[in-house]
Structure 1
Amino acid sequence: MENKVIHSDPEIMGGTPVFLGTRVPVSFLFDYLEAGETIESFLESYPSVTRKMVTSALKAASYLVCQNVH
C-alpha cells in the first residue's frame, strides 16, 4: 500500500515521519487520539494537516497492523 500523505526525509525533523508538505509528525495524531482527543481537535491544532491526510494516515496504519497480524 503506497501512502502519499506520510513523508520521511533526514532533512526534515531528522527523518521523523511527517504529514507530507508539513513539519507535523504523524505520531502527534496518534498521541492526540490516545489522549482521548478528537480528530477535529487535532485538525484545529494543526491547520496545515487536512482531514483527508488524517484519514489516509489512519487507513495506512490499519493496513500495516492487519498485515502484521497474519
Structure 2
Amino acid sequence: MNLVERITVVPDVCNGKPTIRGMRITVRTVLEYLAAGETAENILDAYPNLELADIQASLAYAALLADVRIDSLPLPMAA
C-alpha cells in the first residue's frame, strides 16, 4: 500500500499531525475509534469522506511506527 497517497502531513492542517488525504481527520482519530472497538463500517458512516483504504492505511502507518525505536515516547520501559 502506498501510504503517501493516503497519509499526509501538512503543517497547516491539524498542527502538522498525520491526517487522511489532507483532510482534517487525523490518523490518531481513526486509530482511537478502532482501539475503542468501532468497526470500519461505523467509522465510515461517521466520516463519509473516508474510504476503507484510508482505515487500512492508518493501520499500516501505525504498524510502521510500532517498528521504529523512539526512546522519547512517554511509554513505560520494560526492565
TM interval, short-chain normalised: 0.7 to 0.9
Q: Whose RCO is larger (CA < 8 A, sep 6+)?
A: 1
What RMSD over aligned residues (CA atoms) do the two structures have, in Å? 2.1
Identity, in percent, stands at: 31
Counterpart check, 1:12 vs 2:26: no
Residue matched to 2:50: 49
Contact map agreement 1:22 1:49 (CA 8 A) in 2: no
- Structure showing greater radius of gyration is 2
Relative to structure 1, the CA distance from residue 51 to residue 2 in structure 2 (aligned partners, 3 Å threshold; closer, same or farther) is closer
SS in 1 for 2:3: coil
From the two aligned structures, give the one with the greater helix fraction: 1
SS in 2 for 1:53: helix
Residue matched to 1:3: 3
Residue identity opposite 1:40 in structure 2: E
TM-score (norm 1): 0.77
**Aligned mates of 1:27, 1:60 — CA distance in 2:** 10
**Aligned mates of 1:6, 1:61 — CA distance in 2:** 11
Kindly tell me the number of residue pairs found equivalent between the two proteins. Answer: 68
Q: Which runs of 5+ in 2 are unaligned?
A: 70-79
TM-score (norm 2): 0.70
Give the alignment of 1:13-32 within 5 angstroms. 13-32=14-33
